[in-house]
Amino acid sequence: MKSITLLGATGSIGLRTLDLVSSFPEEFSVAGLAARGSNVERVADLCKKYSPRAVALLEADARDQLARLLPAPRPELLAGPDGLVALARDVKADIVVSALVGGAGLLPTMAAIQAGRTVALANKETLVMAGRLMTAAARARGVKLLPVDSEHSAVFQCLAGHSRADVHRILLTASGGPFRETPKARLATVTVEDALQHPTWKMGAKITIDSATLMNKGLEVIEARWLFDVASDQVQIVVHPQSIVHSMVEYIDGCVIAQLGVADMGVPILYALTYPERRPMPTARLDLVRAGQLTFYEPDLDKFPCLRLARTALDSVSSAPVVLNAANEVAVAAFLDRRIGFNAIAELIEEALNTSRAGELDSIEACTAVDADTRRSVQRAIDTRHGARPS
């Protein structure tokens, strides 16, 4: 029986992970759950169903509300960013699923690594912010970082049994998002609803917008660079609208190994949970004959500047990806709030990268300081340009 601490329990990845716990009750148990706490009833239901030993919610009020909803004996209840860190670090678990969204996951994920726990990583923003420090900490503690992101799970599987020295390049596939066929001139006026219509994957709002700007793929290039210890120019993006080939590895002899499957995050999540073993997946399977044609082409960097910005940040000093990520998070939130247009997301990120003080970051504290600074300055830029948020 493997015990799981789940950071981001109420999200898209979190709930899919819990579905798998329900499908394999003899394999998995839940040690800890963490979430923002915006839906306390939901968290209470999850506690009743999965009996975690501890729960951490971002908001203290939500924790108190949860205490009232749960009959004794109740799990240990923690709150605040420190509560999330304590949950990841102190609650005994065989694996920590890191599935918070955004930079909020950095400190709890680092705490899990430093406590020596295997991490199943969905929260790509943490690697974007602190890839070098996180992978170094994992190596130092002998901790496995198992990818949950479907492309990275695919690459991880394509690398199995091969020598890293024989890798020529990684080919990350991208669906192209909802605006793949949209003319560039139309992007200025697309709505939040348009951007939330992802063609192949059902995901949380932030990553769905990242998929529309293609920043998601930019973040994934950085994620691949750190997870697989390859150079930035060894990671190439291939647009593949069917989302059937989840990614590929090309070797020095020209052989390309691909991993294929249906678009269901349950597959990479289950593989991370059972690695190095596999289990029969109780959902849909790939039918290549019904899938028909598989197509591939180059991404349009002119139409999707976020891809170019992510690559530039990766090739720059280590503060740049932190700035990229923080600016993107603030800009995406403002777009979802309907305060800025779609094209302003990339504009704000570019401005933040051009105006930030660039430098090398040698500690997590330095990363969180650059993160906080960038958030403040991008928020200020939005308020100046588009008026302060009504209180």
Residues that bind Mg ion (CB under 5 A): 149-151
Q: Is 339 exposed, middle or buried (0-12, 13-18, 19+ CB in 10 A)?
A: middle
Candidates 79, 88, 118, 125: give the one binding ligand NAD (CB under 6 A): 125
**C-alpha 17 chain-centroid distance:** 14
95 within 8 A of 21, measured Cβ to Cβ: no
Distances (CA, A) of 390 to 7, 383, 387: 32, 10, 8
User: Counting contacts by CB under 6 A, is residue 152 touching ligand NAD?
Assistant: no
Cβ neighbours around 193 below 10 Å, total? 7
User: Counting contacts by CB under 6 A, is residue 117 touching ligand NAD?
Assistant: no
The CA distance from 11 to 274, in Å, is: 21
Q: x/- binding map, residues 71-90, to ligand NAD, per CB under 6 A?
A: -------------x------
What is the Rg, in whole angstroms, of the alpha carbon atoms belonging to the chain?
A: 20
The CA distance from 210 to 256, in Å, is: 28
The CA distance from 232 to 240, in Å, is: 21
Structure tokens at 157: 């599987």
Residue in this structure with the two tokens 């948020």, named with its chain if needed = 389
Candidates 44, 97, 101, 154: give the one binding ligand NAD (CB under 6 A): 101
Q: Which helix (H) or strand (E) holds 310?
A: helix 305-315
Which residue lies nearer to ligand NAD by CB, 286 or 358? 286
User: Counting contacts by CB under 6 A, is residue 10 touching ligand NAD?
Assistant: yes
Which residue lies nearer to ligand NAD by CB, 260 or 358? 260
Which residue lies nearer to ligand NAD by CB, 220 or 250? 220
Candidates 23, 201, 300, 364: give the one binding ligand NAD (CB under 6 A): 201
Which residue lies nearer to Mg ion by CB, 149 or 264? 149
Site for ligand NAD in 13-42 (CB under 6 A): 13-14, 35-36
The CA distance from 123 to 110, in Å, is: 12
Candidates 30, 158, 207, 306: give the one binding ligand NAD (CB under 6 A): 207
- Listed in sequence order, the residues at least 6 apart from 89 whose beta carbon sits closer than 8 Å to its beta carbon are 111, 112, 114, 115
Which residue lies nearer to ligand NAD by CB, 14 or 305? 14
Q: Is 345 exposed, middle or buried (0-12, 13-18, 19+ CB in 10 A)?
A: buried
User: Taking contact as CB under 6 A, which single stretch among the options 176-184, 198-206, 245-253, 359-367 is the one that binds ligand NAD?
Assistant: 198-206
The three-state DSSP-derived secondary structure of 225-256 is HHHCCCCHHHEEEEECCCCCEEEEEEECCCCE
Candidates 20, 40, 44, 58: give the one binding ligand NAD (CB under 6 A): 58
Which residue lies nearer to Mg ion by CB, 80 or 204? 204
- For residue 199, the partner it binds in Mg ion, ligand NAD, none, with Cβ less than 5 to 8 A by kind, is none
User: Counting contacts by CB under 6 A, is residue 204 touching ligand NAD?
Assistant: yes
Candidates 104, 128, 235, 239: give the one binding ligand NAD (CB under 6 A): 104
Which residue lies nearer to ligand NAD by CB, 117 or 354? 117
Q: Using the 8-state DSSP alphabet, how is residue 97 labeled?
A: E
Which residue lies nearer to ligand NAD by CB, 61 or 166? 61
Q: x/- binding map, residues 156-185, to ligand NAD, per CB under 6 A?
A: ------------------------------
CB of 179 to Mg ion, least distance (A): 17
Residue in this structure with the two tokens 């600074």, named with its chain if needed = 373
- For residue 35, the partner it binds in Mg ion, ligand NAD, none, with Cβ less than 5 to 8 A by kind, is ligand NAD
User: Counting contacts by CB under 6 A, is residue 124 touching ligand NAD?
Assistant: yes
304 within 8 A of 214, measured Cβ to Cβ: yes
CB of 115 to ligand NAD, least distance (A): 18
Which residue lies nearer to Mg ion by CB, 109 or 211? 211
Residue 124: name the closest of 303, 314, 345, 351 by CA. Answer: 314
Distances (CA, A) of 271 to 14, 274, 308: 15, 5, 31
CB of 172 to Mg ion, least distance (A): 8
Applying CB under 6 A, which residues contact ligand NAD? 8-14, 35-36, 58, 84, 99-101, 104, 122-125, 149, 201, 203-204, 206-207, 265
